[in-house]
Amino acid sequence: MNATELLAKIRLNGAIPRHVAIIMDGNGRWARERSLPRPLGHRSGMKAVREVVEGAIECGLDVLSLFAFSQENWQRPRGEIDALMMLLEEFIARETAELSAQHVRVKMLGDLTRLTPGAARAAAELMAGTASNDRLTLNLFISYGSRAEIVRAARMLAAEVRDGMRQVDEIDEEALASHLYTTGCPDPDLLIRTSGEQRISNFLLWQAAYTELYLSPALWPDFTRRDLYEAILAFQNRERRFGRVPV
């Protein structure tokens, strides 16, 4: 079944997820299988980002979240990190006009203070330039780790209690969620991981408590909107109980 047929089937099924998150994995393996430098794998992965954004728009998602660079990735060789920062700047320069034309709002979530000055400046300009768009929200997680995000939220809540702005017994799930990077964003309905790996790698640990998981064997540079549609179709065929029993 081709992408057009899959999209038609998705629309017939109804229940399209509001928010799909993707752990984009496999760039390095894709390059290694072709005896290419790792940065070329990351560059090829940029094409998959555009493909998936276009697919998300076509099937009517509200939010698409992409895990681009983790806090742990800062431990990689300096040359690879520099290449990734340059690719981020290149992606922003190349895609900003198209994202704006498609009415995509871009948010970059994570510890952005660690970005290189050029990447940080480009990220800020992209977010400001697309802030009024409302067709699709694209969350790009850069320099992100979920445990660090939760610790950051806990510290913010502790500071509010210390400063008399909040009582301890007022701290609940809603309060903590409001201090996460994703505040105001619905939790993901579907989390896709590419490359066949079977772990969530410190991504959206709080937000994905009841998220449906889908493991794709495709390496990220090979991931297409057809793969996205297959994942959404699988989601549509599942029964989401949220801890309840079926009625």
**237 given a catalytic annotation:** no
**Burial zone of 241 (CB within 10 Å; 0-12 exposed, 13-18 middle, 19+ buried):** exposed
Selected catalytic residue, list 73, 111, 133, 202: 73
Three state DSSP letters for the chain: CCHHHHHHHHHHHCCCCCEEEEECCCHHHHHHHCCCCHHHHHHHHHHHHHHHHHHHHHHCCCEEEEEEEEHHHHHCCHHHHHHHHHHHHHHHHHHHHHHHHCCEEEEEECCHHHCCHHHHHHHHHHHHHHCCCCCEEEEEEEEECHHHHHHHHHHHHHHHHHCCCCCHHHCCHHHHHCCCCCCCCCCCCEEEECCCCCCCCCCCCCCCCCCEEEECCCCHHHCCHHHHHHHHHHHHCCCCCCCCCCC
The one catalytic residue in 25, 139, 189, 227 is 25
Query: Of 16, 95, 109, which is closest to residue 48 (Cα–Cα)?
Result: 95
Q: How far apart are CA 193 and CA 57, in angstroms?
A: 20
Q: Is 25 a catalytic residue?
A: yes
The catalytic site residues sit at: 25, 73
